[in-house]
Amino acid sequence: MSQSITISNRSQLYVAAQKLLQFHANKKHFAFEGEMGAGKTTFIKEICKFLGSNKNISSPTFSIVNQYATSSNVLIYHFDFYRIKNEQEAYDMGYEDYFAEDAYCFIEWPEKIKGLLPQDVVWVKIEVNNQERIIHY
C-alpha cells in the first residue's frame, strides 16, 4: 500500500474510487480489509458506479458473490467471504473460475481465503478514525 485517502463524508467516496482505479489501472482483483461497518460495501458500490454499473449494488453476505455488468458490458464480481468457515468452501463455490475471468473482482473479508488470492491482488484497507475513514491502497 502506498496511497491513502481520508474520507470525511460519503460524497467523497466517488473521487476515492476514481483515484484507486487510476492508481491501479491495470489491476482487476481488489481485496478489502476493515472492521465490520468500516464501509467496505459502500466503497465498492462507488467503485462500481465509477466503472459504469447502474445496478443496485448490495452486499453478497448470504449469496457470497454478486455479479454486475457495466454499461459497456464489463463484468464485476463482488464477493463477501465473511460467512465461510474455511478455504474449502471457496473451492466448492468455484472461486477460481471467477478469478480467472477478465472481470473485476472486489473481495470483502479476504483474510478468510488469503491463500487463494491472486498474487497481483490489490489490498485496500479501510481504517475507521472517529467519523472519518482512511482508505489505504
> Which of 117, 122, 119 lies closest to 137 in space, CA to CA?
122
Q: Give the pLDDT of residue 58.
A: 81
User: How confident is the model over 53-99, as pLDDT tens digits?
Assistant: 977 888 887 789 999 999 899 999 999 999 999 999 999 999 999 99
Q: Give the pLDDT of residue 1.
A: 60
> Picking from 22-31, 50-59, 122-131, which range would have the lowest pLDDT averaged per residue?
50-59
- Structural domain count, the chain: 1
Domain that holds residue 60: 4-136
> Which of 9, 14, 16 lies closest to 124 in space, CA to CA?
16
The mean predicted confidence, pLDDT, of the chain is 94
- Sign for the CA dihedral angle at 82, 88, 106, 7 comes to positive
Domain CATH number, residue 117: 3.40.50.300
Rounded CA-CA distance 102/29 in Å is 10
> Which of 54, 46, 91 lies closest to 70 in space, CA to CA?
54
Q: Cβ atoms within 10 A of the Cβ of 62, count?
A: 8
